[in-house]
Amino acid sequence: MHQSVIVAPSLLSANFGNLEADIRMLNESKADWLHLDIMDGVFVPNISFGIPVVKAIRKYSEKPLDTHLMIVQPERYIHAFREAGSDMLTVHWEACTHLHRTVTQIKEEGMLAGVSLNPHTPISGLEDIIDDVNLVLLMSVNPGFGGQKFITRALHRITELREMIERHHADTLIEVDGGVSRDNIQQIIDAGADAVVAGNAVFGSQDPSAEIAYMKRL
Ligand code: DX5
Ligand code: ZN
C-alpha cells in the first residue's frame, strides 16, 4: 500500500501569542509530528524558544514532538529535552564533535535520534553513522528562519541519501526541512523523502488544517 508522507508542521510559523490554539488545531489535523525549532543565536543567526516552552507545548500536544536543535554543544541538553517531552531529538552534524556518542545518548534517553545536515555538508559524512541514526533531517534552506526558498540541489541530496540507506539496509527515515510547499512536495517525495517539515506553507495558508490534509493525500 502506498504510504503517505509524514507531515511535521513547524511551530516556528505559528502564532506565538496563542500557541495553545494552534496546537489544538494540529491535534485535530492530519499532522503526524510537531516540529520544534530550537535556535541559540550562535549556531544559527536567530533565537527562537527553549526548554520551558517545549514543556508547555507538551502539555497540549497529542502529537509526537520532533525537536530540531540548532544549537552548539547539543549534548549538554539531551536529558533536559527528554524531560521537557521530546520524542525525537535531532542534532546538527556540524555542531557535534563526538556525533556517535551524542546519538547513542539520545537513544539511551529513550528518544529517536536524528542528525541534520546543512545544505552544503556532504551526504557521504553520514556513511559511518547511518546504521545508528533513526532519522536524517536534510536542510533544504540555511537554518535560522522560516519562510525561505527551497534550495533545489536538495533533491539530488535526498536521492543520494536514499541510495546510501538502501545500500546499508538501514531503516533510517529521511525528513526534509525548509521551503517545502505544495509546489515542490511531490518532487521531494519522488526523490525519496519519508517526511517533510512545513512551516510557512501550513501557517501561512488560509486553512492550515486543509493544507496538511492536501500534503497527506499525495
Ligand atoms: C529553519 C527551520 C525550519 C523552518 C521551516 O531553520 O529548521 O524547520 O521552520 O519553515 P518553512 O517551512 O517556512 O521553510
Ligand atoms: Zn527545523
Q: How far is CA 166 from CA 128, 133, 137, 170, 174, in A?
A: 14, 14, 17, 6, 12
Is the CB of residue 61 less than 8 Å from the CB of residue 50?
no
Position 121, amino acid: T
The label of the residue with cell 529521511 reads 174
* Rounded Cα–Cα distance for residues 153 and 32 (Å): 26
pLDDT in tens, the chain (218 residues): 468 999 999 999 999 999 999 999 999 999 999 999 999 999 999 999 999 999 999 999 999 999 999 999 999 999 999 999 999 999 999 999 999 999 999 999 999 999 999 999 999 999 999 999 999 999 999 999 999 999 999 999 999 999 999 999 999 999 999 999 999 999 999 999 999 999 999 999 999 999 999 999 98
Query: Using CA positions, which residue lies closest to atom 6 of ligand 1?
Result: 143
Atom of ligand 1 nearest to the CA of 139: 7
Cβ atoms of 195 and 176 closer than 8 Å? yes
Going by C-beta distance under 8 Å and a sequence separation of 6 or more, which residues neighbour residue 8? 31, 32, 33, 34, 35, 66, 175, 195, 196, 197, 198
Give the residue numbers annotated as catalytic, written as ranges: 37, 177
3-state secondary structure 137-151: EEECCCCCCCCCCCC
**Confidence (pLDDT) at 152:** 98
pLDDT, position 3: 81
User: 101 CA distance to ligand 2 centroid (A)?
Assistant: 22
Centre of ligand 1 to C-alpha 10, Å, is 6
pLDDT at 2: 61
CB-based contact 37:12 (threshold 8 Å): yes
Q: How far is the CA of 77 from the centre of ligand 2 (A)?
A: 17
Question: What per-residue confidence (pLDDT) applies to 218?
Answer: 85
Tell me how far apart the alpha carbons of residues 117 and 138 are, in angstroms, rounded to a whole number: 5
The grid coordinates of residue 195 equal 517526511
Do the Cβ atoms of 166 and 143 come closer than 8 Å?
Answer: no
Which of 68, 71, 177, when mutated, tests ligand 1's pocket best, judged by the most ligand atoms within 8 Å of its CB? 177
CB-CB neighbours of 98 under 10 Å = 10
Pocket lined around ligand 1, Cβ cut-off 6 Å: 10, 12-13, 35, 37, 68, 141, 143-148, 177-180, 197-201
Confirm whether pTM is higher than 0.85. Answer: yes
